[in-house]
């Protein structure tokens, strides 16, 4: 039997499309009632015996539209791809349950049916095919088909599942009245907008980098980028495609993007948003975008950080804003996989993005419909200005005038030795600024001696000229705490914003970042030698090449490095072991922000590969469990002193984990002496989200009060709960009589 060539043109007839649709339906409607669509249709009494046929008709129309709009995909390999059970299941999970496709499985099937060899890749490029766009384009067609049939109730619900999963989940978890109202509204015949924007006000801009007064543009640089980004007639942002700024490490791509954003800020009325886009799959980008949503406080309705899909919901909600606001500039910095622009973003947004996208990358991969701008090396004149301006003005004037002196020659040689790269020149400039007596002849001599040191050549071949300049800066750092902070910062993900408070805890410098405190002084010291970049919101950043240099220092002195990592993990855990300090933190930043900080610290310990991360994971879990009580303002320490201490301490006892170390316990609290083994529902009342809570007080002997909780309900459920409450009162009285009140 001959296996057809995957690039053989396939006549996609009506019969083939029907077979493809039937295959997808066969694999995706099993267990319909367990899906979001199934539960909603059942609740609305809209499940029909012929639902399979209706779904098949939708998919037939979707496939017809897909192959009509994308004839380049009429190939045997694409046909077989859609017939694959795993692909069909992924499609089904999305259209019936709102679950994002697993990109790794999709990519595996694309490679399986289209091939991975060089000839195949050449054919793909020649035909203008973008494999990563197959599924997103299919879902785009699926939405168009549904929107044409919104008069049919089932279609409105199915469209809502893929566009507002968060809303549906909230409604499913709520009361009968709310879900009935929701379904009635969905079936009211009103067309749903392509992208729902719930916030009235736009999110605040996020551009973490400060304006750099030392920035030296290349001749004509901004004019060229302006021509790529804007329509010159009205100066409004025009989606002329994507703009990618490409170039080697240290050449200044990120700084160019920063300066461009500041220069044209007024032209983007819907905001400018900066995302570190490292990572090689959808889930990495989902994490970065969810972090951005948290930073700018642009969160979906009923945002719940303890929900397992919270990250997906935040990322999707923010991406819908990008999709529906044309006057937005999205900057994706340090992209490792540019193809994710075509796959991850549309999937998260539920459609194509209409905003302007600017990205930076070391990869020179060519992508269809992408306009690229190659960031060039600095011309010698610009490089000399960056090196000498304001710190050696007389020498700069003589060099530019063509001086042949030894100092002028050394200045030119220094620029050449670091490859005319801005990152290297900034380091040399910092050295000259610190010591006015150092001549350029001497600096060139020292740089020549350090040039023999070649670090991380295997990964960054283009960075070798810079490592000698890093060594010059590193040798200026004598303070041990500053050295530790610099090396510990390198364990955060590449190019990501680094919260200074975590580094402060890890090194023992505290969390206050100003010039009067140890942490602030250390930050300034590292900034002065250009090893650290200051960002907004008490964050810093390591350039990817400097980060690699820092990691190499730890590897080179492995004994010291291991002790440093172990000590950092110990200091971070100690901070959260003290229940009194933990309660003070929760009062200062808020319970939910405190929980976020614990998570951030736990993630950092995992990056350090520390076994102590398990302790913070336990604490995070306990904080999650107690959030229904401690996360409410009604349970503030002013009303119930000692409750925070009591609940978390007893959680640790229940799980036989002696985690907490506190010097001072509250004056009055209920202490668990040994694990119970199970939670008595008469003692513990976990209130569902959205219910109205009330705090009651039961007066006992000696003027002491015990908190009780209940939910008012005049129905059968309410009578049952009031009965449970009376039982709870008796249990509390028993607790008091046994003397467990400490």
pLDDT at 179: 46
- Residue-wise pLDDT for 84-94, tens only, equals 778 877 787 77
Least confident range of 33-47, 98-112, 230-244, 580-594: 230-244
Hey, which bits of 365-522 come out as E strands?
370-374, 498-499
| Average pLDDT score over residue span 265-282 | 89
Q: Taking 90 as the threshold, does the pLDDT of residue 17 lie above it?
A: no
pLDDT at 119: 60
pLDDT at 275: 93
Best CA proximity match to 140, nearest among 330, 378, 349: 349
- Residue-wise pLDDT for 448-490, tens only, equals 776 533 433 344 444 555 777 788 788 889 999 999 999 999 9
Structure tokens at 164: 């507002």
Contact criterion met (CB below 8 Å) for 531 and 486: yes
| Average pLDDT score over residue span 112-130 | 65
CA atoms within 13 A on the CB side of 503: 27
Hey, which bits of 239-355 come out as E strands?
242-246, 271-276, 328-333
How far is the C-alpha of 271 from the C-alpha of 613, rounded, in Å?
37
- Residue-wise pLDDT for 137-192, tens only, equals 888 888 788 767 655 556 666 666 665 544 444 544 444 444 445 445 544 443 33
Instruction: Report angle CA 203, 294, 527 to the nearest 5 degrees.
Output: 100
Report residue 42's pLDDT band, with 50, 70 and 90 as the boundaries: low
Does residue 226 sit in helix, strand or coil? helix
Residues 369 and 399 in one domain: no
pLDDT at 331: 93
Distances (CA, A) of 291 to 102, 297, 394: 21, 10, 47
Handedness of CA 402, 406, 408, 412 (dihedral sign): positive
How far is the C-alpha of 418 from the C-alpha of 400, rounded, in Å?
19
Pairing of strands 242-246, 356-361: parallel
Alpha-helical (H) ranges within 557-710 are 558-577, 579-589, 591-607, 613-625, 627-630, 643-654
The residue out of 448, 475, 502 marking a domain boundary is: 475
The residue out of 441, 475, 509 marking a domain boundary is: 475
Residues 309 and 415 in one domain: no
pLDDT at 608: 93
Residues 179 and 228 in one domain: no
Pairing of strands 705-710, 694-699: antiparallel
Report residue 239's pLDDT band, with 50, 70 and 90 as the boundaries: very low
pLDDT at 189: 41
Residues 386 and 313 in one domain: no
Residue with tokens 């201490």: 645
pLDDT at 498: 93
| Average pLDDT score over residue span 411-418 | 87
Q: What's the chain's average pLDDT?
A: 75
What percent of the chain lies above the pLDDT cut of 90? Answer: 20
Please state at what angle helix 440-450 crosses helix 464-475, rounded to 10 degrees. Answer: 110
pLDDT at 175: 44
In-domain check, residue 501: no
Distances (CA, A) of 452 to 446, 475, 512: 11, 16, 40
Residues 47 and 161 in one domain: yes
What range does the domain containing 35 cover?
14-186
Residues 370 and 407 in one domain: no
Report residue 47's pLDDT band, with 50, 70 and 90 as the boundaries: low
pLDDT at 346: 87
Contact criterion met (CB below 8 Å) for 284 and 575: no
How far is the C-alpha of 245 from the C-alpha of 720, rounded, in Å?
65
Contact criterion met (CB below 8 Å) for 645 and 663: no
Q: Taking 70 as the threshold, does the pLDDT of residue 653 lie above it?
A: yes
Residues 165 and 256 in one domain: no
Measured from the Cβ of residue 368, the count of other Cβ atoms closer than 10 Å reads 11
| Average pLDDT score over residue span 689-696 | 34
Q: Taking 80 as the threshold, does the pLDDT of residue 297 lie above it?
A: yes
pLDDT at 726: 45
Report residue 2's pLDDT band, with 50, 70 and 90 as the boundaries: very low
In-domain check, residue 290: yes
Does residue 562 sit in helix, strand or coil? helix
Of residues 553 and 726, which shows the higher confidence score?
A: 553
Residues 181 and 233 in one domain: no
Q: Taking 60 as the threshold, does the pLDDT of residue 561 lie above it?
A: yes
Residues 254 and 330 in one domain: yes
In-domain check, residue 2: no
How far is the C-alpha of 90 from the C-alpha of 102, rounded, in Å?
7
Residues 389 and 313 in one domain: no
Of residues 256 and 126, which shows the higher confidence score?
A: 256
- Tell me whether residue 369 is exposed, middle or buried, using C-beta atoms within 10 angstroms of its C-beta: 0 to 12, 13 to 18, 19 or more: exposed
Instruction: Report angle CA 652, 291, 647 to the nearest 5 degrees.
Output: 15
Distances (CA, A) of 382 to 318, 407, 541: 39, 18, 25
Residues 391 and 296 in one domain: no
- Residue-wise pLDDT for 607-629, tens only, equals 999 999 999 999 998 988 888 78
Q: Taking 60 as the threshold, does the pLDDT of residue 268 lie above it?
A: yes
Report residue 720's pLDDT band, with 50, 70 and 90 as the boundaries: very low
How far is the C-alpha of 184 from the C-alpha of 71, rounded, in Å?
40
pLDDT at 508: 95
Report the range out of 41-55, 373-387, 707-721 with the highest average pLDDT: 373-387
CATH number at residue 231: 3.40.50.300
In-domain check, residue 255: yes
The residue out of 320, 342, 374 marking a domain boundary is: 374
In-domain check, residue 5: no
Report residue 741's pLDDT band, with 50, 70 and 90 as the boundaries: very low
In-domain check, residue 181: yes
Report residue 509's pLDDT band, with 50, 70 and 90 as the boundaries: very high
In-domain check, residue 257: yes
Structure tokens at 694: 């009330």
Does residue 273 sit in helix, strand or coil? strand
Report residue 582's pLDDT band, with 50, 70 and 90 as the boundaries: very high
pLDDT at 519: 94
pLDDT at 46: 57
pLDDT at 725: 47
How far is the C-alpha of 425 from the C-alpha of 438, rounded, in Å?
16
Q: How many domains is the chain partitioned into structurally?
A: 4
Residues 318 and 444 in one domain: no
CA atoms within 13 A on the CB side of 22: 6
Of residues 298 and 197, which shows the higher confidence score?
A: 298
In-domain check, residue 579: no
């Amino acid at each position: 039997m001959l296996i057809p060539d995957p690039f053989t043109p396939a006549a996609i007839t009506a019969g083939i499309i029907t077979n493809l649709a039937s295959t997808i339906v066969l694999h995706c409607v099993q267990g319909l009632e367990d899906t979001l669509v199934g539960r909603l249709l059942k609740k609305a009494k809209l499940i029909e015996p012929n639902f399979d046929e209706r779904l098949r008709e939708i998919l037939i129309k979707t496939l017809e539209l897909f192959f009509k709009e994308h004839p380049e995909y009429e190939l045997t390999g694409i046909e077989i791809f859609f017939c694959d059970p795993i692909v069909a299941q992924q499609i089904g999970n999305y259209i019936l349950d709102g679950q994002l496709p697993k990109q790794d499985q999709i990519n595996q099937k694309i490679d399986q049916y289209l091939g991975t060899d060089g000839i195949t890749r050449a054919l793909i490029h020649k035909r203008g095919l973008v494999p990563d766009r197959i599924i997103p384009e299919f879902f785009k067609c699926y939405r168009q088909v549904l929107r044409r049939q919104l008069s049919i109730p089932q279609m409105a619900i199915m469209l809502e599942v893929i566009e507002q999963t968060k809303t549906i989940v909230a409604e499913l978890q709520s009361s009968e009245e709310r879900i009935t109202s929701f379904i009635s509204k969905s079936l009211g015949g009103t067309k749903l907008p392509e992208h729902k924007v719930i916030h009235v006000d736009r999110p605040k801009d996020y551009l973490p980098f400060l304006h750099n007064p030392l920035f030296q543009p290349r001749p004509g640089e901004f004019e060229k980028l302006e021509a790529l980004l804007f329509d010159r007639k009205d100066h409004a942002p025009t989606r002329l495609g994507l703009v990618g700024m490409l170039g080697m490490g240290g050449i200044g791509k990120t700084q160019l993007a920063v300066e461009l954003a500041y220069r044209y800020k007024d032209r983007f009325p819907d905001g400018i948003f900066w995302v570190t886009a490292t990572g090689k799959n959808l889930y990495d980008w989902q994490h970065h975008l969810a972090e951005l949503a948290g930073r700018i406080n642009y969160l979906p309705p009923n945002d719940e950080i303890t929900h397992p899909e919270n990250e997906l919901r935040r990322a999707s909600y923010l991406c819908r804003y990008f999709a529906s606001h044309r006057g937005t500039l999205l900057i994706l910095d340090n992209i490792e996989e540019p193809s994710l622009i075509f796959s991850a973003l549309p999937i998260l947004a539920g459609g194509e993005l209409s905003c302007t996208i600017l990205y930076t990358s070391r990869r020179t991969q060519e992508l269809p419909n992408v306009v690229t701008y190659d960031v060039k090396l600095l011309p010698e004149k610009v490089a000399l200005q960056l090196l000498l301006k304001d710190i050696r003005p007389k020498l700069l004037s003589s060099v530019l005038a063509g001086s042949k002196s030894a100092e002028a020659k050394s200045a030119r040689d220094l620029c050449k030795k670091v490859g005319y790269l801005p990152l290297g020149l900034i380091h040399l400039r910092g050295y000259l600024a610190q010591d006015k007596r150092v001549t350029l002849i001497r600096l060139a001599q020292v740089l020549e001696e350090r040039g023999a040191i070649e670090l991380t050549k295997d990964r960054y071949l283009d960075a070798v000229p810079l490592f000698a300049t890093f060594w010059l800066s590193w040798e200026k750092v004598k303070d041990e705490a500053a050295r530790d902070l610099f090396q510990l910062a390198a364990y955060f993900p590449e190019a990501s914003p680094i919260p200074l408070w975590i580094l402060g805890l890890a090194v023992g410098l505290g969390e206050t970042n100003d010039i009067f405190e140890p942490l602030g002084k250390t930050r300034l010291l590292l900034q002065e030698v250009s090893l650290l970049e200051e960002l907004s919101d008490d964050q810093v950043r390591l350039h990817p090449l400097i980060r690699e240099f820092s990691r190499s220092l730890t590897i080179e002195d492995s004994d010291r490095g291991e002790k440093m990592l172990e000590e950092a993990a110990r200091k971070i855990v100690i901070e959260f072991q003290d229940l009194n300090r933990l309660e003070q933190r929760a009062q200062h930043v808020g319970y939910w922000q405190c929980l976020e900080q614990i998570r951030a610290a736990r993630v950092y310990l995992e990056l350090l590969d520390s076994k102590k991360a398990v302790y913070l994971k336990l604490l995070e879990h306990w904080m999650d469990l107690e959030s229904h009580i401690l996360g409410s303002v009604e349970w503030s320490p002013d009303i119930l002193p000692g409750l925070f201490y009591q609940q978390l301490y007893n959680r640790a006892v229940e799980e036989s984990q002696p985690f907490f170390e506190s010097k001072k316990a509250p004056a009055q609290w209920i202490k668990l002496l040994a694990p119970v083994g199970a939670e008595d529902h008469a003692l513990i009342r976990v209130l569902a989200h959205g219910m109205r809570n009330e705090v009651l007080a039961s007066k006992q002997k000696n003027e002491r009060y015990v908190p009780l909780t209940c939910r008012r309900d005049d129905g059968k459920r309410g009578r049952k709960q009031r009965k449970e409450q009376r039982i709870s009162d008796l249990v509390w009285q028993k607790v008091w009589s046994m003397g467990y009140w400490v």
